[in-house]
Amino acid sequence: MSKSLPPKFIISLGRYIWTTMWKIMMSQMAPSSKSGEYLRPQSQSRNTISNESGSLYPAESGRYNLIVGMSCPWAHRTLIVRTLKGLEDAISVTIVDPAPTEGGWKFKQTEAGCDTLAQLYQLSDPNYEGRYTVPVLWDKKTKKIVNNESSEIIVMLNSEFNSFATNPSLDLYPEDLKDKIDTWNEKTYHNVNNGVYRCGFASTQQAYEIACNSLFTTLDELDEALAKTRYLCGDRLTLADVRLFTTLIRFDLAYYGIFKCSRRRIQDYTNLGAYLKDIYQLPGIADTCNLEAVKQEYYGMLFPLNPGGIIPLTPDLDLLSPHDRENIGRKSEVV
């Protein structure tokens, strides 16, 4: 009888095979720099819906469809603005499911003759060579993708569909706050929104530590700022809050664990934790959140990060308890 392979050899061979396959899969899912830092590809469909004369994509009720995945924070932004503005009757929504073995998203039912989001992208542009991402703002009339960049879609939803909105007076990007909103957006995008992905998709220890330190330095700064004002730019909810919220709502459930953003949870922050509950409890917001999908899809679908596919048991987020943020930043009345 031949002897069994020594454990040392089995371990070394297993590590070599897994590391090699992991690097191949990660290079496709999350391209990185030579130093191991995750590099997010830019969105490529960047057309604009406008009410200006001669616009290729004018604002029309019933013409456009939002295609979203419920676990995706970038797509979640568009659902929130659609809800806050009251555009449910004007802009339809299609939800796609992740199809990890196919490397993308698939439709629950055929959409424009397509079974997958990749097919829809090719229908829109047969020469398209980018990633097949959500959200997608789809023009049902021309069968074209108008835009797949969430930061631009939410600006259009805020301003261009007021004729069809049930809450047209709400302005989430007011002129007097634009500079402040843009400043927060720049900081939170790099260090928080994309920062959690830079942690999770880092392929070297150094890249991970740089991203993790930047993430928590910014979260500390946000927590301090929110001790003074109810929202990031004062007492009014803005697009800066929408963009931050969709990362925070996923943090303790997913990013803390699978992306190794494990220095602190959002609920450990006095102000950020209450701020998260404040926004979640605004009318309509909870209905845009599918927390079970977040857990199932991050842990169940990101095979290179969780090859066992085990979904962790997590504590309740307690999002419905009082937050007591209504009077933060307001001056005391003079009696």
In this predicted structure, the answer to whether residue 28 has a pLDDT above a threshold of 70 is: no
Say whether both 181 and 273 belong to one domain.
yes
> Which pLDDT score, from 0 to 100, does residue 334 have?
34
Among residues 159, 192, 223, which one ends one of the domains? 159
Q: Sort 326 into a burial class: Cβ within 10 Å, 0-12 / 13-18 / 19+.
A: exposed
Say whether both 198 and 148 belong to one domain.
no
pLDDT in tens, 103-159: 689 999 999 999 999 999 999 999 999 899 999 999 999 999 999 999 999 999 999
Say whether both 131 and 189 belong to one domain.
no
Note whether residue 79 is domain-resident.
yes
CB 150 within 8 A of CB 158: no
Give the CA distances from residue 11 to residues 15, 25, 53, 91, 167, in Å, rounded to whole numbers and listed in that order: 6, 21, 67, 54, 61
> Which pLDDT score, from 0 to 100, does residue 332 have?
38
Note whether residue 101 is domain-resident.
yes
In this predicted structure, the answer to whether residue 38 has a pLDDT above a threshold of 90 is: no
Say whether both 134 and 179 belong to one domain.
no
Say whether both 188 and 235 belong to one domain.
yes
Q: Which of 197, 231, 256, 299 is catalytic?
A: 197
State which residues form the domain around 123: 64-159
In this predicted structure, the answer to whether residue 299 has a pLDDT above a threshold of 70 is: yes
| Domain at 141, CATH number | 3.40.30.10
> Which pLDDT score, from 0 to 100, does residue 103 have?
64
In this predicted structure, the answer to whether residue 271 has a pLDDT above a threshold of 60 is: yes
pLDDT in tens, 253-267: 999 999 999 999 999
Note whether residue 274 is domain-resident.
yes
Say whether both 70 and 149 belong to one domain.
yes
Say whether both 131 and 185 belong to one domain.
no
Note whether residue 276 is domain-resident.
yes
Note whether residue 59 is domain-resident.
no
Which secondary-structure segment (H or E) carries 66? strand 64-68
Note whether residue 190 is domain-resident.
yes
Say whether both 181 and 149 belong to one domain.
no
| Domain at 283, CATH number | 1.20.1050.10
Q: Which of 38, 72, 212, 233 is catalytic?
A: 72
Say whether both 146 and 225 belong to one domain.
no
Note whether residue 120 is domain-resident.
yes
Which stretch of 187-196, 228-237, 307-316 has the lowest confidence by average pLDDT? 307-316
> Which pLDDT score, from 0 to 100, does residue 6 have?
66
Say whether both 79 and 132 belong to one domain.
yes
Q: Which residues pair with 111 in a beta bridge?
A: 114
**Percent of the chain at pLDDT above 70?**
92
Among residues 128, 159, 190, which one ends one of the domains? 159
pLDDT in tens, 62-106: 999 999 999 999 999 999 999 999 999 999 999 999 987 776 899
Per the annotation, the verdict on 199 as an active-site residue is no
Say whether both 150 and 198 belong to one domain.
no
**Percent of the chain at pLDDT above 90?**
77
In this predicted structure, the answer to whether residue 2 has a pLDDT above a threshold of 70 is: no
Note whether residue 314 is domain-resident.
no
Q: How many domains does the chain fold into? A: 2
Orientation angle between helical segments 150-159 and 73-85, nearest 10 degrees:
0
Per the annotation, the verdict on 299 as an active-site residue is no
Among residues 263, 288, 313, which one ends one of the domains? 288
pLDDT in tens, 178-220: 999 999 999 999 999 999 999 999 999 999 999 999 999 999 9
Residue 39 has what DSSP assignment? -
Degrees to nearest 5, angle at CA 313 with 309 and 319:
125
> Which pLDDT score, from 0 to 100, does residue 335 have?
34
> Which pLDDT score, from 0 to 100, does residue 333 have?
38
Say whether both 75 and 134 belong to one domain.
yes
Distance CA(14)–CA(24), nearest Å, equals 15
